[in-house]
Amino acid sequence: MKKTIIQGLAILLSFFLIWFGFSQLDYVKFFKIKERTINVENKLGDLIWNEINRTEDVVLNDSITKTLDSLILPICKANNIERDSLKVHIIDKDEVNAFALPNKHLVVYTGLIVDCKKQEALQGVLGHEIAHIEKNHVMKKLSKELGFSVLLSATTGGKGGQLIKEVFKTLSSSAYDRTLEKEADITSVDYMIEADIDPKPMADFMYQMSLDSKMPDGFSWISTHPESEERSKYILEYIKGKKLTIKPTLTEKNWKDFQEQIKDL
């Protein structure tokens, strides 16, 4: 009897020791899944940007890049986002577009800057794309639409060049699902409120685009972010009753000068 009890206790103790041992394992780290995913994301983002840089007209004008940075900086500063972690690029292209790439690349077309009537509308779009980056929406979208195996193949040579173009097309010309879009919208509004930036022009910008029943090809950002009128409404509903402290980042003159610089490129 005593022997049986001792054997039972030994088995029980062994079970708890095994359970405790497994409970201490960091499975993500153990299988290096997270590390592998991050490596793929970083390499993928850099490969896509290299392809864009090779084929598009990148704006390197110091005055223009610094002015855009001054519009992004308050958002980052007020929301504890490390500005230096974002790789912001301006492309001289008439399309009204901006999009996020893996590895925290953020691409902005000059067409978007010119089309925004107010600086806050541009900041709202930038905040939306920063939210996609901060919430890891970019890789979620790509993994869902293309699959991780395709993303991995794109970073390992072979047909990588063609796959990189496919990944880029997916990011720049197709929509995120509604849940991710709404999360990015509301997060952008929260960013703006924290930074004392008026979020209403962001809603106005979306509504302005939704009024055109025949969406021009150049309005890529809106065409890849559908239900613009609905989104405009829920943004306005979200900020209703909130106490807003509004402080423009640029003077009206500096904002207009910035747009004129863009037009003169």
Tokens 């509604």 correspond to 178
Q: What per-residue confidence (pLDDT) applies to 149?
A: 84
Give the span between the Cα atoms of 202 and 87, in whole angstroms: 23
Average pLDDT estimate for 184-207: 96
Interval 219-252: pLDDT, tens:
455 555 557 788 899 999 999 989 899 999 999 9
> Hey, where are the domains in the chain?
1-31, 37-263
Q: What per-residue confidence (pLDDT) applies to 229?
A: 83
Contact by Cβ (8 Å): 250, 119: yes
CA-nearest of 165, 129, 130 to 146 is 165
Q: Are strands 105-109 and 98-101 parallel, antiparallel or unpaired?
A: antiparallel
What six digits make up the tokens of 212?
């055109």
Contact by Cβ (8 Å): 159, 208: no
Q: Which pTM was predicted?
A: 0.82
Chain Cα centroid distance, residue 93: 20
Average confidence score pLDDT of the chain? 84
